[in-house]
């Protein structure tokens, strides 16, 4: 695992230097994959659903793809498709984060363990 | 130089993206622990806000029709916010499926628009074309697969496995068609019909791949499709030269895969067997003709249950989807309070996949202010059943099915279950004798120690509570 990681880092550095955008992007892709694998190690079962919902909201980042694409889109149909894509992406982001927040708000901090009735007396 | 120009510096935008990535990663890391999860979600959402604003300031967007962008954002907000606000806690899983689906749909649509924009000439730029075709296929599968998952959990289509004749071969043929169309485009075909064929073949594949999978496995399916959408977003990022999409999409693709694996393990399933629709699809004993299990079912009354529990030392509540449907969690909490007033120990046995999603029961019980420390995970509570006087099963079924331990030919054999049948008395609250989501009989109901209390879970529990008050 470690040599692999360092290989990736080397690849990223070299690709950045060589100025080939595709290689740089692939290096970024692979590094992001490692981050994704590492960031989730052991998740308590309780948090499986909220975590899935949270990652779900993050891939709503496709919204940005819609924004970038519509900038150079010509023609009615292309723009129409992309407006729908932007709307879909927005639903994914906004709905995703809100619904995750609602799920998590259910995990209220445990109320202080019933205070020992009257310690003083 | 004005401030707008500064904000339009490509370096500023890339810097903003880097900040956003850090926030995503921090947010995700915090989402893995109960104490920091709420904060983690907010951090990730803030990262998303930064990424969106930075993109809107991007000079590449100069000349874009901001009215159209505003329309898209407005529609999305107008649909997404109320949907997320108003969805019932019981319907959360299918909501996640739906949100995941539109994400995949967005990717597929973007890929289609980009294809049209290039006039189909993707062969000239394979570093754009290949990721675009990949994004289109996966995005389309994810969109339709998620819709089917939504339909199954929402009860719009049958939750039990739908067998497709020649299933696997049809799916392989569909995938081959989609990939073939993609290859033809790479080789220089500029026909839009081919691209549409690719989208449609993937769409049908998304439908047919999820239909044969039983409802009990839906969490794993949704999680898989979630990872898929992440991957397709990353591919779209390569096609569009957008680092934000690459990083965020790939992080979700990777973490979603890990999460899927953990979920599947919690159910003692492998991702492969889930996706091949093995569950229920191979179940031998579900054919019509009613029960194949001998023995009788005894029903009881709330008053009897109250008496039984009043003289118990330890009562274990085993909640399941039925509790969620009946919204009985508050009633359950009241019953537990009544028991605790009698110095009876109350614990909750939480099966990792009770309900429709891992963590489903925890969410509901937390809503009803059940103290954390009374919620016991499966491994902690299983040794306790032997010294439990009354186990009260509220709308749970498959997760208590002893066949998973005892009957090697059962489709759920090997799935870790709550050993409810080891307690001295078992009360099962249930609406009817219908089988659970996996569509299999549960011999627990025929166990001589078991008594059934038929009816709406919430009404039954409230009745038990009031009977307890009168004792």
Question: Domain for residue B283, yes or no?
Answer: no
Instruction: Choose one of B275, B291, B319: the last residue of a domain.
Output: B275
For an interface test with A, which of B22, B37, B350, B367 has the most A Cβ atoms less than 10 Å from its Cβ?
B37
Q: How far apart are CA A58 and CA B463, in angstroms?
A: 44
Q: Give how far A7 is from chain B: nearest CA, Å.
A: 19
Chain A residue at shortest CA distance from B356: A49
Residue whose structure tokens are 């799935």 = B415
pLDDT higher than 50, residue A115: no
Residue B356 and residue B93 in contact, taking contact as beta carbons nearer than 8 Å: yes
> With an 8 Å Cβ cutoff, are B109 and A54 in contact?
no
> What pLDDT score does B48 carry?
96
Residues B127 and B249 in one domain: yes
The three-state secondary structure class of B429 is strand
Per CB-CB distance under 8 Å, the chain A contacts of B253 are 33, 36
Domain count, chain B: 2
Interatomic CA distance for residues B11 and B20, integer angstroms:
14
Residue A99, CA atoms < 13 Å, CB-side half-sphere: 37
pLDDT beneath 70, residues of chain B: 1-8, 267-268, 277-295, 434-439
Same structural domain for residues B350 and B226?
no
Co-location of B262 and B343 in the same domain: no
The answer to whether residues B254 and B308 belong to one domain is no
Instruction: Identify the closest residue of chain B to A98 by CA–CA distance.
Output: B84
Q: B292 in a domain, yes or no? A: no
Please identify which residue in the block is written with the tokens 């249930």.
B430
Give the separation between CA A96 and CA B206, rounded to whole angstroms.
21
3-state secondary structure of B318: strand
Count the Cβ atoms, other than its own, within 10 Å of residue A37: 16
Cα–chain center distance at B85 = 18
Catalytic residue annotation of B: 398
**Residue range A69-92: average pLDDT?**
93
In whole angstroms, give the CA distance from residue B343 to residue B247: 54
Burial of A87 (0-12, 13-18, 19+ CB in 10 A): buried
Q: Are residues B264 and B342 in the same domain?
A: no
Domain extent for B317? 302-470
CATH of residue B386's domain is 3.40.50.1220
Per-residue pLDDT tens digits for B95-145? 999 999 999 999 999 999 999 988 777 777 888 889 999 999 999 999 999
B137: three-class secondary structure by DSSP = helix
| pLDDT tens, residue by residue, B20-77 | 999 999 999 999 887 788 899 999 999 999 999 999 987 777 777 888 999 999 999 9
Q: Which residues pair with B393 in a beta bridge?
A: B318, B428
Q: Within this chain, do residues B60 and B190 fall inside the same structural domain, yes or no?
A: yes
What is the chain A residue with the closest CA to B132? A65
Burial profile B157-191: b = 16 or more Cβ within 10 angstroms, e = fewer: bebbbbebeebeeebeebbebbbebbebbeeebee
Domain end point (choices B275, B292, B323): B275
| Cα-based distances in Å from B278 to B162, B218, B285, B313 | 11, 13, 14, 42
**Residue A47 with chain B: CB contacts under 8 Å:** 31-34, 37, 359
Query: Tell me, what's the pLDDT at A113?
Result: 45
Helices (H), B243-295: 243-266, 271-275
Are A40 and B258 an interchain contact pair (Cβ–Cβ within 8 Å)? yes
Q: Does A103 touch chain B (CB under 8 A)?
A: yes
Facing residue for A50 by CB, picked from B25, B37, B369: B37
Radius of gyration of chain B (CA): 26
Asked whether B406 and B366 are in contact (CB, 8 A), the reply is no
Residue A81 has a pLDDT of 95
Q: Are residues B264 and B310 in the same domain?
A: no
- DSSP for B12-48 reads HHHHHHHHHHHHHHHHHHHTTSTTTHHHHHHHHHHHH
Q: Give A6 to chain B, closest Cα distance, Å.
A: 19
Q: Are residues B108 and B213 in the same domain?
A: yes
In terms of Cβ atoms closer than 10 Å to its own Cβ (0-12, 13-18, 19+), residue B339 is buried
Among residues of chain A, what percentage have pLDDT more than 70? Answer: 69
8 Å CB contact between B322 and B394: yes
- % chain B with pLDDT above 70: 92
- Segment B428-453, tens digit of pLDDT: 998 877 666 666 778 888 888 888 88
Selecting from A35, A72, A97 the residue whose C-beta is nearest the C-beta of B41 gives A97
Tell me, yes or no, whether B289 lies in a domain.
no
- Phi, psi for residue B429 in degrees, rounded to 5: -90, 125
Is the same domain home to B238 and B320?
Answer: no
Beta carbons of B38 and A104 less than 8 Å apart? yes
The answer to whether residues B107 and A86 touch, using CB atoms and an 8 Å cutoff, is no
pLDDT of residue A62: 95
How far A69 CA sits from the closest chain B CA (Å)?
Answer: 7
- Strand order across the B450-454 sheet: B375-377, B345-350, B314-319, B390-394, B425-430, B450-454
Per-residue confidence (pLDDT) for residue B103, from 0 to 100: 96
| Residue A95 contacts B where some CB pair is shorter than 8 Å | yes
Query: What is the rounded end-to-end Cα distance, in angstroms, of chain A?
Result: 61
Count chain A–chain B contacts defined by CB atoms under 8 A: 382
B179 and B58, same domain (yes or no): yes
For residues B82 and B204, membership in a common domain is answered with: yes
In chain A, the residue whose alpha carbon lies closest to the alpha carbon of B236 is A65
- Reported as a pLDDT band with limits 50, 70 and 90, residue A92 is very high
Q: Which residues of B271-284 are buried (b: 16+ CB within 10 A; e: fewer)?
A: beebbbbbbbbebe
Q: Diameter of chain B by CA atoms?
A: 86
Residue B294 lies in a domain: no
Could you write out the DSSP letters of every residue in B51-114? HHHHHHH-GGGTT--HHHHHHHHHHHHHHHHHHHHH--GGGHHHHHHHHHHHHHHHHHHHHHHH
User: Are B52 and B145 part of one and the same domain?
Assistant: yes
């Amino acid at each position: 695992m470690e040599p692999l990681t360092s290989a990736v880092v080397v690849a990223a550095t070299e690709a950045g230097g060589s100025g080939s955008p595709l290689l740089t992007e692939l290096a970024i892709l692979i590094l992001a994959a490692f981050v994704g694998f590492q960031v989730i190690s052991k998740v308590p079962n309780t948090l499986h659903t909220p975590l899935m919902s949270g990652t779900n909201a993050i891939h709503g980042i496709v919204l940005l793809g819609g924004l970038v694409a519509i900038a150079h889109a010509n023609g009615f149909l292309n723009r129409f498709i992309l407006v729908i894509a932007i709307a879909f992406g927005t639903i994914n982001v906004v709905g995703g984060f809100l619904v995750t927040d609602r799920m998590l708000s259910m995990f209220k901090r445990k109320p202080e363990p019933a205070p020992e009735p009257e310690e003083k007396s | 130089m004005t401030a707008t120009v500064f904000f339009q510096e490509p370096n500023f935008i890339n810097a903003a993206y880097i900040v956003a990535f850090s926030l995503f990663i921090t947010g995700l890391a915090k989402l893995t622990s109960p104490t920091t999860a709420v904060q983690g979600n907010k951090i990730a959402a803030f990262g998303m806000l930064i990424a969106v604003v930075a993109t809107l300031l991007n000079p590449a967007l100069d000349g874009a029709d901001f009215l159209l962008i505003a329309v898209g954002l407005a529609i999305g907000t107008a649909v997404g916010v109320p949907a997320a606000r108003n969805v019932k806690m019981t319907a959360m899983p299918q909501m996640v499926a739906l949100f995941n689906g539109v994400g995949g749909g967005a990717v597929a649509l973007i890929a289609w628009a980009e294809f049209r924009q290039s006039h189909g000439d993707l062969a000239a730029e394979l570093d754009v074309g290949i990721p675009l075709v990949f994004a289109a296929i996966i995005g389309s599968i994810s969109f339709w697969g998620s819709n089917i998952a939504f339909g199954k959990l929402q009860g719009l289509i049958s939750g039990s496995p739908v067998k497709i004749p020649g299933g696997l071969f049809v799916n392989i043929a569909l995938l081959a068609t989609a990939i073939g169309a993609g290859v033809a485009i790479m080789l220089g075909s500029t026909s839009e019909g081919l691209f549409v064929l690719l989208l449609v073949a993937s769409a049908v594949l998304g439908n047919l791949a999820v239909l044969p999978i039983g409802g009990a496995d839906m969490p794993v399916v949704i999680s898989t499709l979630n990872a898929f959408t992440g991957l397709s977003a990353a591919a779209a990022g390569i096609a569009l030269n957008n680092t934000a999409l690459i990083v965020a999409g790939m992080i979700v693709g990777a973490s979603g895969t890990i999460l899927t694996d953990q979920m599947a393990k919690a159910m003692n399933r492998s991702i492969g067997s889930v996706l091949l629709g093995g569950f229920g699809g191979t179940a031998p004993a579900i054919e019509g003709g009613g029960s194949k299990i001998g023995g009788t079912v005894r029903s009881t009354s709330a008053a009897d249950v109250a008496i039984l529990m009043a003289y118990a030392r330890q009562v274990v509540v085993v909640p399941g989807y039925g509790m969620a449907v009946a919204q009985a969690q508050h009633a359950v909490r009241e019953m537990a309070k009544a028991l605790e007033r009698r110095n009876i120990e109350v614990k909750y046995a939480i099966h990792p996949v009770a309900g429709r999603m891992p963590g489903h029961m925890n969410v509901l019980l937390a809503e009803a202010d059940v103290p954390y420390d009374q919620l016991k995970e499966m491994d902690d509570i299983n040794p306790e059943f032997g010294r439990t006087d009354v186990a009260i099963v509220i709308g749970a079924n498959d997760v208590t099915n002893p066949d998973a331990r005892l009957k090697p030919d059962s489709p759920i054999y090997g799935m870790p279950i709550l050993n409810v049948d080891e307690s001295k008395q078992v009360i099962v609250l249930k609406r009817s004798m219908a089988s659970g989501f996996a569509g299999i009989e549960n011999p627990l109901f025929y166990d001589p120690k078991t008594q059934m209390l038929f009816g709406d879970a919430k009404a039954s529990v409230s009745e038990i509570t009031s009977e307890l008050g009168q004792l």
